[in-house]
Structure 1
C-alpha cells in the first residue's frame, strides 16, 4: 500500500462524520460533498505526521472550509431567507439506510436546519462544532479568528436563537405518521375544520419555490389551513416518506418530484411545515431509497 493509499484509507474512515459536519454547516448536500473533498485536498498537501487526532484535525479543516463558503454567500448578498429550505434527506417510510442514519445522527431535523440558516457564519460554526459535535472552544477559536471566550458567546447567542425558534418535535414516529395522515386526509377532502384541528395555533408553513418565484411564509392555523386546501389538487400524488428522519410527504408526477413536505410535530399537532418546490433542486435529490 502506497502512502497516498494509506492516507486515503484513513480519510475514508472519517468521511461520513465530515459530511455530517458539513451538511449541518451548509444545509446543502452537494456543497457538503465539495467541502469534504476540499478537506481531502488539504490533507494531501499537509504534513500530518505530528497530528495525534486526525478526525479532530479534519473536523476543524472542514469547519474552516464551510465558514469560507458561508462568508462567500454573504459577500454575494445571498442573505439567509426565512423560507429557504435546506436540502432534505429523503428515505422510505419504513426507515433510512445506514449511511443516511449516520448523516442524520443527533436528530438534525429540517426545523433545526432552517433556524441555522438564519445565523451568521461564525455563530453557525460555533454552535455546530461545539453543541452538535463537542469540539472545544479553544479549537474553534483559531478558525474564526477570535478568543475562546468570544467563541463561547457566539455559541451561546446561537443556542438561544435555536432554542427559541426550533420546536422540540415529538419523538414517536408512529404518532408523527398518524398526524401527517390526518393532515393529508383533511387536505384531500377539502375539510378546513379538520385541517385547523391538526395544526398548532401558532403553526408556521414555509414554501421554497426557487429563485424565479417569491418564497412564502404562512402563520397561524387558519392561514396555513387555507394554504393547505390548495394542496388538495396534488394530494393524490402524495406518498409517505421520511424527511430528515421524521414523517413527511413527497409528491411526484410523471416520474418527476413535484414537492417535498417536512413536518415538525409537537404535542400531537403540526407546529411547522417546510415545503421544497424548487424544480431545479428537486431534480438533484437522491430518491433511490424510495424505489
Structure 2
C-alpha cells in the first residue's frame, strides 16, 4: 500500500472502529475487524474504489456480519451474564458523546439491547442511527433493496422498544450519583444506598467464568443493597476506585493495586440508579487498560 493510501485509511480508522464496536459489542473484535479491512484495502485495486469511505464502511459492515454469526454461538455458551466490552469515551474513541442521544447510542445498555436483533437488523439500525446513513446508502452497503432496509429498520425499532429519557440528567448530576453511590457502599450506609437505588434496580456481573462473579442478575433494591454491603466488606474492601466516563456516562473503575479489576457502568433515571453493569472478565478489560496506558 502506498503512503497516500495508508494515510487515507488512517483518516477513516476511528470511524470504522466506532462502526465495528457498535456492531460487535467487543473492542477487541472491532480492532481485528478494522485490521482485516486495512488488509483488504491494501490489496484492492485502487482504481476500482471510487468512494473509499463508502467502500470501507461496506467492507467493515460485512466483516462484522460474518463475525456476528459465530459470536452468537459463542455467547450461548458464555458463563454467566454476557456484557459488552467497556470503552473509555472521554478521549473520543467512539466519536463525540455530547448529546443525550449520542451517550445513549454507545451505552452498555443499548449494546445489550442490540443483541436482540439479527445481524442484518443490527447493521441497518447502527448505520441509520449512529452514522445517519440513508436507506439507499444502507441498501448499497448490504446489497439489499431499499424497501427491505426500511422494513428491517422498522422491525429493529419494534424489537428494541427503546425507552426514552435514559440520560435526562446532566453529566454532572450523574457523576454526583456515582460518587454518592461509591461513598455509601464503602461506608456500608444502607439508608444512603436505598435512597440512591430505584426499587427495581438490577445488578449484572460479567465474570465470564474467569473470576468470581454473580452468574445471574441481582434484582430489587433490597437484594442489591445486601450484595453491595457484602462485596465492600469482602473482596472489594482493599480496592481503590476512580470515576471515569464509560460508554458515554460516568462510571467506576475498580483497582486492586495496579490491576484493573472491574469497570462499572450505571444507568440512571429520575435521579435514581436503575441498572448497574459490572464487567469483571479480565479479557474484556484489556482495551480499557490500554486506553489508560496500563496494558
TM-score range, shorter chain: 0.7 to 0.9
2:275 counterpart of 1:282: no
2:168 is paired with a residue of what secondary structure?
coil
Provide the C-alpha distance between the structure 1 equivalents of 2:141 and 2:11, rounded to a whole number of angstroms: 23
What root-mean-square deviation, in Å, do the aligned CA atoms of Structure 1 and Structure 2 show? 2.7
Tell me by how many angstroms 1:30 deviates: 1.4
**What's the TM-score, normalizing by structure 2?**
0.85
Provide the C-alpha distance between the structure 1 equivalents of 2:74 and 2:283, rounded to a whole number of angstroms: 21
**Map of 1:73-112 to 2, 5 A cutoff?**
73-74=71-72, 76-79=73-76, 83-90=81-88, 96-97=90-91, 99-100=92-93, 102=95, 106-107=102-103, 108-112=106-110
Aligned residue for 1:219? 219
Tell me by how many angstroms 1:262 deviates: 0.6
Q: Cα gap change, 1:265/1:287 in structure 2, threshold over 3 Å: closer, same or farther?
A: farther
The answer to whether the Cα contact below 8 Å between 1:238 and 1:251 also exists between their aligned partners in 2 is yes
Q: Cα gap change, 1:176/1:19 in structure 2, threshold over 3 Å: closer, same or farther?
A: same
Residue correspondences, number: 283
**What's the TM-score, normalizing by structure 1?**
0.86
1:249 is paired with a residue of what secondary structure?
strand
| Structure 2: gaps of 5 or more residues | none
Point out the more displaced range, 214-223 or 269-278. Answer: 214-223
Provide the C-alpha distance between the structure 1 equivalents of 2:8 and 2:287, rounded to a whole number of angstroms: 29
Aligned residue for 1:266? 269
CA shift digits 1:67-122 (9 cap, x unpaired): 11101223x4533979322111137xxxx23x436275732122111212332211
Q: Cα gap change, 1:289/1:280 in structure 2, threshold over 3 Å: closer, same or farther?
A: closer
Aligned residue for 1:186? 184
Aligned residue for 1:197? 195
Aligned residue for 2:35? 37
Point out the more displaced range, 53-62 or 277-286. Answer: 277-286
